[in-house]
Amino acid sequence: MKWLALILGFFCLQAFSQEASETRELIGHVGGRAALLQLYASPQADGSARLTGEYLVLPSMQRRFLEGERSPQLGVTFLKEGNTPILYGRPPIATLQGTWSGGTFKGGRYGPGGQQREQFEFSETFPAMDAYSANLRCEVEEGRYASTLALAVEGGKLKSLDWRSKVGDQTCAVQGLEQRPHDGGLRFAAGRCSVNLRDLGELVRVTAEDCGAMCAPRAYLEPLFVDRRGSCQLIRPAQR
């Protein structure tokens, strides 16, 4: 019975950790380059958090992958940076060292030799999009994936949205969404499916969330980045 209790406790702890894991997005800059930071935080037993994720340099769309930890005290954060999603066993090309507290992550980016190359600062607060207007239709294609977005927004209010994608012979078609309240951007939803817009400065990012019911089994919707002219682009494929 004692062993059973230990096993049940272990699985309860695992379930709690999975439930407590969260995705955090921040907008800011690394040196003079605008950047979007996305981190997955997994709490540890000592109050620290294990972090993995990436930052995207805008508007060049270069990806830098990250892994590290955030301390329970003062939010001291250390992240190794690499060019590939798999950092284990490979020397980092740089490290981000700083503090993450009060919704702000700031510090320095250091080279392999320990020299500071530039400073960075990110915020969890994204700009409001109450005044955003767009009337666009764009298409993107890469390999077997193709996507078409038709979007009309006036003064932050949705007029129409039709987002379709195709992966081989599998398709998605997202339509009939209605506006929902959303801080730091715009959100349009129908049931569990939502399309979210974030203002990244020179670009607006469009993402889909929980839209599987509107897609064939092997189809999906990749995030799109829309520039001021209404052209769309995808993130560059990750290096291996």
160 plus 201 within the same structural domain: yes
7 in any annotated domain: no
Domain-located, residue 16: no
C-alpha closest to that of 132 among 175, 174, 186:
186
**Among residues 100, 123, 146, which one ends one of the domains?**
123
**Of 85, 102, 123, the domain-final residue:** 123
Q: Is 202 helix (H, G, I), strand (E, B) or coil?
A: coil
Q: Residues 156, 200: one domain?
A: yes
Same domain, yes or no: 100 and 170? no
Predicted TM-score (pTM) of this structure: 0.85
Q: Who's near 199: CB < 8 A, 6+ residues apart? A: 126, 127, 128, 129, 132, 185
8 by DSSP, 3-state: which?
helix
**CA angle 27–32–38, rounded 5-degree value:** 25
Render each residue's pLDDT in the chain as its tens digit; 240 residues: 434 343 334 334 444 344 467 899 999 999 999 999 999 999 999 999 999 999 999 988 999 999 999 999 889 999 999 998 877 778 899 999 999 999 999 999 999 989 999 999 999 999 999 999 999 999 999 999 999 999 999 999 999 999 999 999 999 999 999 999 998 999 999 999 999 999 999 999 999 999 999 999 999 999 999 998 999 999 865 444
Domain range for 187 is 134-233
Contact in structure between 35 and 28 (CB atoms under 8 Å): yes
